[in-house]
C-alpha cells in the first residue's frame, strides 16, 4: 500500500515535470523500469561560480516516499561545502523527519512529506548559490569558501564547471 502510493506520487511528479519543465534542472528516470531512481541535470545558478555548469546527479527514493526523503548524490565532480567528496548532498530538507539528535536543525527545516522533486531541486540550486558553511559535509570546501572565496574556492569550482562541458 505504501509503495503503491510512492509509485503513484513519483509518476505524477515525473509527468508534471515533463509537461511543465522548471528552469534550472531537468529530471527523468535512470531506467524506465524503476520509478525510484532518477537522474537529474542541475544547471549552475546564474551569477555564481557554478554558472555554465551542468551537473549530473541521482535521486534515489525510498519505497515509503513521501514519508521518508530521497538520497541525492552528484555524479559530476562538484566542489561545495554541503556536498561531500563522494557527491552526497547534505541539506536539511533531505534529513529524516523529526528531531535532530544534535539539536542543530529544527523539525521544520527537515524533511516533510509535502516536498516534491521540484522543491528538492530548487532547494539544492539555492544551496549551490548560498552554502551553509556552519554545517559542512566537505570541510575543505567550507574552509576555501570562508578563507579564500575569490581564489582557491573559485578555482576549484570553475575546474568542476569545465569538466561538465566535456560530458
Q: Residue by residue, what is the 3-state secondary structure of 31-93?
A: CCCCCCEEEEEEECCCCCCCCCCEEEEEEECCCCCCCCCCEEEECCCCCECCECCCCEECCHH
* 140 CB-contact burial (10 Å; exposed 0-12 / middle 13-18 / buried 19+): middle
Q: Which three cell numbers stand for residue 8?
A: 503513484
CB 96 within 8 A of CB 111: yes
Q: Is 54 one of the annotated active-site residues of the chain? A: no
C-alpha to C-alpha distance for 35 and 51, rounded to whole angstroms: 30
Active-site residue (options: 17, 90, 91, 141): 90
Q: Active-site residues: which are they?
A: 90
Amino acid at each position: 500500500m505504501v509503495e503503491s502510493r510512492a509509485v503513484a506520487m513519483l509518476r505524477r511528479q515525473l509527468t508534471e515535470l515533463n509537461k511543465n519543465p522548471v528552469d534550472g534542472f531537468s529530471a527523468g528516470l535512470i531506467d524506465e523500469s524503476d520509478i525510484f531512481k532518477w537522474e537529474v541535470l542541475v544547471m549552475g545558478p546564474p551569477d555564481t561560480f557554478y554558472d555554465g555548469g551542468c551537473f549530473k546527479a541521482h535521486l534515489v527514493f525510498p519505497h515509503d516516499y513521501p514519508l521518508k526523503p530521497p538520497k541525492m548524490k552528484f555524479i559530476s565532480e562538484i566542489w561545495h561545502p554541503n556536498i561531500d567528496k563522494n557527491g552526497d548532498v547534505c541539506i536539511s530538507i533531505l534529513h529524516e523527519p523529526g528531531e535532530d539528535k544534535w539539536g542543530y536543525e529544527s523539525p521544520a527545516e527537515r524533511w516533510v512529506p509535502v516536498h516534491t522533486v521540484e522543491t528538492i531541486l530548487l532547494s539544492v540550486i539555492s544551496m549551490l548559490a548560498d552554502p551553509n558553511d556552519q554545517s559542512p559535509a566537505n570541510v575543505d570546501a567550507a574552509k576555501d569558501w570562508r578563507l579564500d572565496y575569490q581564489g582557491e574556492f573559485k578555482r576549484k569550482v570553475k575546474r568542476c564547471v569545465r569538466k561538465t562541458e566535456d560530458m
